[in-house]
């Protein structure tokens, strides 16, 4: 079974600075998706960024980028120019790709609570 580990329960960053959230995962599959979801106090789960394992290029979405290291099974999220609205819980998640067959479920890490200080 796949597992996702987020080793930082809490992180803080100054407004306008850069912060990196860590995520590692364990799988024997070769094809899969990785995601970062954001959960603000409203508790809505919002997709921040996604990465397909067969793509070597790291995904970017405006101020958000990932460092995907497939061999190391590492998938970190970098937030640049942090804003007060970035304060939230961030969840790393894994999902098998369709070629693998098997379960379609999303497997989550425990989350990292990000605080942005003005």
Q: Are 1 and 94 in contact (CB under 8 A)?
A: no
Q: Tell me the Cα Rg of the chain.
A: 14
Other beta carbons within 10 Å of 64: 16
* Residue nearer to other proteins on the CB measure, 64 or 108: 108
16 scored as a contact of other proteins (CB under 8 A): no
Q: Residue 33 and residue 95: Cα distance in Å, rounded?
A: 5
To other proteins, the closest distance from the beta carbon of 110 in angstroms equals 5
Q: Which of 50, 73, 78, 113 binds other proteins (CB under 8 A)?
A: 50
Stretch that binds other proteins, among 19-27, 36-44, 54-62, 66-74 (CB under 8 A): 36-44
* 49, 101 Cβ separation under 8 angstroms: no
64 contributes a contact to other proteins by CB under 8 A: no
- Candidates 38, 66, 109, 112; binder of other proteins (CB under 8 A) is 109
Asked if 11 touches other proteins (CB under 8 A), the answer is no
Query: What's the DSSP call for residue 53?
Result: T
DSSP code string of 81-100: S--GGG-EEEEEEEEE-GGG
Residues forming the site for other proteins (CB under 8 A): 33, 35, 37, 42-45, 47, 50, 52, 91, 95-98, 103-111
């Amino acid at each position: 079974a796949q597992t996702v580990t987020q080793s930082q329960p809490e992180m803080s960053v100054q407004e306008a600075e850069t912060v990196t959230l860590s995520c590692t995962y364990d799988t024997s599959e070769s094809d899969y998706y990785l995601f970062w979801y954001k959960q603000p106090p409203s508790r809505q789960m919002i997709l921040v960024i996604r990465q397909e394992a067969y793509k070597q290029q790291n995904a970017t979405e405006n101020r958000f980028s990932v460092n995907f290291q497939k061999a190391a099974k590492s998938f970190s999220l970098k937030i640049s120019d942090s804003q007060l609205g970035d304060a939230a819980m961030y969840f790393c998640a894994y999902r098998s790709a369709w070629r693998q067959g098997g379960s379609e479920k999303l497997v989550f890490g425990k989350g990292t609570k990000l605080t942005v200080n003005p």
